[in-house]
C-alpha cells in the first residue's frame, strides 16, 4: 500500500532552522521514500512501511538532537502524484 504523509516539525528550543533541516535530512537518508519540501511542510510518499519507518527513525534522531518538539502529521492513502480529484 502506498501512502503520503505531510509533516510539520516545531522544535521548542534551540536552533529551529538547523533542527528542521536536520530532520528533513534524516527523513531522506533511507532513500526509500519520495520527499518534497515546501515552506510549510514536508511530504513523504512511498510504501506504508517505508514512510512510517522513515518518520520513526527521523523523529528519534530529532528528539536526541533537539529535545522537546512537536510533530504534526497527516497521512493519506495513495502516492502523492496520484492524489487528486476523483473522477466518475
Going from N- to C-terminal start, the domains of the chain cover 2-77
According to the model, what pLDDT value does residue 81 have? 57
Predicted confidence at residue 24, as pLDDT, reads 96
Q: Kindly report, residue by residue over 29-56, the tens digit of the pLDDT.
A: 989 999 999 999 999 999 999 999 999 9
Q: What SS3 state is found at 14?
A: coil
What class has domain 2-77?
Answer: alpha beta
Residues in Cβ contact with 83 at an 8 Å cutoff, skipping those fewer than 6 apart: 4, 76
Q: Which helix (H) or strand (E) holds 71?
A: strand 69-77
Cβ–Cβ < 8 Å for 80, 2: no
Model confidence pLDDT, tens digit, residues 53-83 = 999 999 999 999 988 999 999 999 987 655 4
pLDDT of 88: 41
Amino acid at each position: 500500500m502506498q501512502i503520503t504523509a505531510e509533516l510539520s516539525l516545531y522544535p521548542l528550543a534551540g536552533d529551529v532552522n538547523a533542527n528542521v533541516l536536520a530532520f528533513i535530512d534524516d527523513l531522506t537518508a533511507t532513500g526509500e521514500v519520495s520527499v518534497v519540501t515546501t515552506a510549510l511542510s514536508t511530504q513523504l510518499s512511498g510504501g506504508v512501511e517505508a514512510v512510517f519507518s522513515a518518520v520513526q527513525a527521523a523523529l528519534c534522531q530529532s528528539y536526541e538532537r533537539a529535545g522537546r518538539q512537536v510533530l504534526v502529521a497527516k497521512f493519506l492513502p495513495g502516492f502523492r502524484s496520484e492524489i487528486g480529484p476523483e473522477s466518475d
